[in-house]
Chain A
Amino acid sequence: MAHFDPILSPPVRLVRLTQEHDFKPFDCGNTDLNNFLIEDSKYNLKYLLSVTYVIENEDKTIAYFNVANDLLRISADSHKKFKSILRRKVKDKYLYKLFNYTEFPAVKIGRLAVNKDFQCRGIGTQLIKAITYSFINNNKTGCVFITVEALNNPRTINFYEKNGFNYLIEPDAKKESLVMFRCLLNYIQYPK
């Protein structure tokens, strides 16, 4: 049995953000992540860009995460160039069908943040696990990958790497955030 922080039990609640939601105080230590929740999450909801889930108790917002549909796309040129190599690598015709696609459905964790008062307790990891499971077993469309916009600092990158994410493109130290991804096919049974 995994260890769960008892904080994630009633009366703490997880709510799907609505326009009427009254935010409780939140500070994760990063202004942009704080601002997203308070200033942008309802805008994104209104225009169907993304959905935010909030975990809160009576006094504070404990954590939040935001998810949106995403697409992993490979340029037609690169796909064409690599196809002959792929054909040699993936001999099984059934599996090879996957590589006829140049686009793969994904879900993006746009923002995920934990209140400073509740950090270093495994809540972020637990959220990642729950989100991943929901898209493996309870997905209403299709989703092969989870992508995430990770702040480009060692702590955040290390957190996502520990949770099974890899760089999607070569890391660039100049960028404020990086896109990382995780494949969900590890966890399904597929014909070999």
Chain B
Amino acid sequence: MASNIIETPVLTGKDAISFLNSFAEKVTHVPSAKERKVLAKELKQMEESYKVLQSISNGAF
């Protein structure tokens, strides 16, 4: 048997603060025009990868 998939731990102490900090920064950050372009490009690449998998999945993905 393989090892179990490990559970995601409940965040406490420094880990919780670090997580909440980075999450807060993420949602309050207003991307610049340049950053928006990068994000749009990344999203486009993700969409293309998704379509590639869809094309070989016969509706399974």
The residues of A with any CB-CB pair to B shorter than 8 Å are 1-2, 4, 8-10, 12-16, 32-33, 35-36, 39-40, 44, 49-50, 53, 55, 66, 68, 70-75, 77-79, 81-82, 86, 89-90, 92, 95, 98-99, 106, 108, 110-111, 126-127, 129-130, 132-134, 136-138, 147, 149, 166, 168-170, 176-177, 179, 183, 185-187, 190, 192
Contact = CB atoms under 8 A, between A and B. Distances in A.
Interface in B1-53: 1-3, 5-6, 8-17, 19-28, 30, 39, 42-43, 45-50, 52-53
Contacts of B39: 186-187
A168 B11 contact: yes
B9 A86 contact: no
Interface of B: 1-3, 5-6, 8-17, 19-28, 30, 39, 42-43, 45-50, 52-53, 55-58, 60-61
A14 B49 CA distance: 13
B8 A78 contact: no
